[in-house]
Amino acid sequence: MENINKKTDLKRLLIYLGLCFGMTWIWFLAVNPKFTHWNDLSRYMMSFISLGMLFPVIAHVLTRLITKEGLKMYGSDSAMFGISFKDRKWIFFLLAILLPCLITELGNLFAILFCRQLFDPGYPKELDVDYRIFFLQPLAAIFTGVVGSFAAFGEEGGWRGYMMPKLLKLFGGKKVLSLIIGGIIWGLWHAPLTCIGHNFGTDYPGFPFLGILMMCAFCILMGVILTFLTEMSGSVWPAAIMHAVTNAYPSALIGFMNDKNVDPVKALWINWGGTMISFLIAATVCMLIWKKKKNNNDFT
């Protein structure tokens, strides 16, 4: 019986991934058939391509309709579209807002510690910008990220709302393995954007394949945190909020980091390395909390 259920879950997951990747990549090719560099696209075209964020949740709904699986608002193996603040679940919504700020600033701090040449107190003057704006921009990004989380919900409603529960069931609840595979899938889904320089630019050794690997590594760590928020809150909305705030958050420190003082490729590695370390710390804390709760027979 268990094998039959796993075969059913695998079939449903493959249908979901086929729809998700197929719709997203077809959309990308239709909108940007020449693979024009991200920085060369107009804001209109950027926004048009970004609509691809909605396909994971669309694929989720379509898969449930095709497989007649049913669509619910709550539950560990349902859409988890609902919101509840009971049992202190509001804490995870607050974390979804604060964690991107802490992780991003910590990552930039690591980058500065790795390469002191990056830090340039006079950089705001060079940009002809009042340095105080760098402390106001993060606050604005938090607001716009929370308000605009419906766009990130397009991704999280699929990855966290459907893919991760299925992977956890397929691998018998083995979180580490499920999270690694889920992160790789999520990273590969971003491949078309990585190939036009959206994530890391194009001027680095091993482009674009190394960039795709870097994105997969990032998605594994990010996926740990987002899945943690989803399971602890019973909703994909904290994950959507964190995803959106992370995308929008510019960092206060970034205004004092002058990449012109460092070789571009070296700057890429330093910034990516700082980001990965800060996300690794956050992901490790999430895994430790999971382990503690599992040992207390309070969480599976």
Does residue 231 carry a pLDDT above 60? Answer: yes
Does residue 293 carry a pLDDT above 90? Answer: no
User: What's the CA gap between 88 and 91, in Å, rounded?
Assistant: 6
Residues with Cβ within 8 Å of 216's Cβ and at least 6 positions away in sequence, in order, are 183, 184, 186, 187, 188
Instruction: Look at residue 183 and tell me if it is in a domain.
Output: yes
Confidence of residue 195 (pLDDT cuts 50, 70, 90): very high
pTM equals: 0.91
Q: What is the pLDDT of residues 9-21, one digit of tens each?
A: 999 999 999 999 9
Q: Cα–chain-centroid distance for residue 291?
A: 23
pLDDT reported for residue 297: 43
pLDDT reported for residue 81: 73
User: What's the CA gap between 149 and 248, in Å, rounded?
Assistant: 10
The single residue listed with the structure tokens 């420190």 is 253
pLDDT reported for residue 106: 95
pLDDT reported for residue 221: 98
Domain encompassing residue 182: 2-295
The single residue listed with the structure tokens 């704006």 is 133
Instruction: Look at residue 300 and tell me if it is in a domain.
Output: no
Instruction: Look at residue 103 and tell me if it is in a domain.
Output: yes
* More confident call, 212 vs 250: 212
Q: What is the mean pLDDT of the chain?
A: 88
SS3 276: helix
User: What's the CA gap between 121 and 117, in Å, rounded?
Assistant: 11
Q: Cα–chain-centroid distance for residue 204?
A: 22
**Average pLDDT of the residues in 107-118:** 92
Instruction: Look at residue 100 and tell me if it is in a domain.
Output: yes
pLDDT reported for residue 4: 66
pLDDT reported for residue 298: 40
Helix axes 209-233, 90-114, angle to 10 degrees: 150
* More confident call, 3 vs 143: 143
**Average pLDDT of the residues in 168-182:** 93
Confidence of residue 133 (pLDDT cuts 50, 70, 90): low
What is the percent of the chain with per-residue pLDDT over 90, rounded to a whole number? 64
Instruction: Look at residue 259 and tell me if it is in a domain.
Output: yes
Compute CA distances 192 → 187, 204, 222, whole Å: 10, 17, 19
Does residue 73 carry a pLDDT above 70? Answer: no
Q: Are 190 and 20 in contact, with CB atoms under 8 Å apart?
A: no
* More confident call, 125 vs 279: 279
Confidence of residue 104 (pLDDT cuts 50, 70, 90): very high
* More confident call, 264 vs 157: 157
Compute CA distances 14 → 18, 41, 73, 277, whole Å: 6, 33, 22, 32
Structurally, the chain folds into a number of domains equal to 1
pLDDT reported for residue 156: 95
User: What's the CA gap between 20 and 64, in Å, rounded?
Assistant: 13
Class of residue 47 by CB neighbours under 10 A (exposed 0-12, middle 13-18, buried 19+) = exposed
Confidence of residue 299 (pLDDT cuts 50, 70, 90): very low
Q: What is the pLDDT of residues 52-64, one digit of tens each?
A: 999 999 999 999 9
Instruction: Look at residue 67 and tell me if it is in a domain.
Output: yes
SS3 96: helix
